[in-house]
Amino acid sequence: MGDVNRAKSVSYQGIVGAEKNGAEFDPIKSYNDNRELAVADVIDGDGAEGAKTINDTAQLASVGGSALTGRKCLTLFNNSQTNSVYWGRTSSVTAASGTPIFPQQHAGWRFTANADIYLVCDTGESADVRLTESAGDGS
Radius of gyration of the chain (CA): 19
Domains and their CATH numbers in the chain: 2-39 (no CATH), 47-135 (2.60.120.770)
Question: 118 with 109: CB under 8 angstroms?
Answer: no
pTM of the predicted model, to two decimals? 0.68
**Residue of 118, 33, 122, 110 lying closest to 74 (CA atoms):** 110
Reported as a single tens digit per residue, the pLDDT across 13-60 is 454 555 556 666 555 555 566 666 655 555 667 899 999 999 999 999
Query: 81-122, pLDDT tens digit by residue?
Result: 999 999 999 999 999 999 999 999 999 998 766 789 999 999
DSSP letter, residue 2 = H
Q: Which residues contact residue 46 at a Cβ distance below 8 angstroms, ignoring those fewer than 6 apart?
A: 68, 69, 70, 134, 135
